[in-house]
């Protein structure tokens, strides 16, 4: 059974930094795409960043230059380093895993999901 466990959320002031982690277990697929999504109250879930088996990455325009996604395959962990945080980054952040996908084909559908970690940025 695939499980994704996020951690690292918290409350910071604008301009601050946080690093989110997502540890996956029970995942035996050889190729995959991992992603971070977020959902703010009253808004739809949106993609933040993706990374696939080849190491290719993709970012939402709103976080380019501020967020960095990376992975440590030995630890089965994906990270999201978030710098220069803004109040509009406030949301629940979810980790997702998509078997057989790449950054070019990743979608919010047919993924495994974690339960999320809350990020709150105050002005």
Model pLDDT for residues 38-84, shown as the tens digit of each residue: 999 999 999 999 999 999 999 999 999 999 999 999 999 999 999 99
| Cβ neighbours for 9, distance < 8 A, ≥ 6 positions apart | 18, 20, 93, 117, 118, 119
pLDDT at 37: 97
Cα–Cα distance between 114 and 93 in angstroms, integer?
9
- Cα 87 to chain center, whole Å? 18
pLDDT at 82: 98
pLDDT at 27: 78
Query: What's the half-sphere exposure (Cβ side, CA atoms, 13 Å) at 95?
Result: 28
């Amino acid at each position: 059974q695939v499980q994704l466990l996020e951690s690292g959320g918290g409350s910071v002031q604008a301009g601050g930094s946080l690093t989110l982690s997502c540890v996956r277990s029970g995942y035996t697929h050889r190729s995959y795409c991992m992603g971070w999504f977020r959902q703010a109250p009253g808004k739809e879930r949106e993609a933040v960043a993706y990374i696939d088996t080849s190491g290719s990455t993709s970012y939402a325009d709103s976080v380019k230059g501020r967020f960095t996604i990376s992975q440590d395959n030995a630890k089965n962990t994906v990270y999201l380093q978030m710098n220069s945080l803004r109040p509009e980054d406030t949301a629940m952040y979810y980790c997702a895993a998509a078997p057989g996908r790449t950054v070019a084909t990743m979608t919010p559908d047919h993924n495994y999901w974690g339960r999320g970690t809350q990020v709150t940025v105050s002005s």
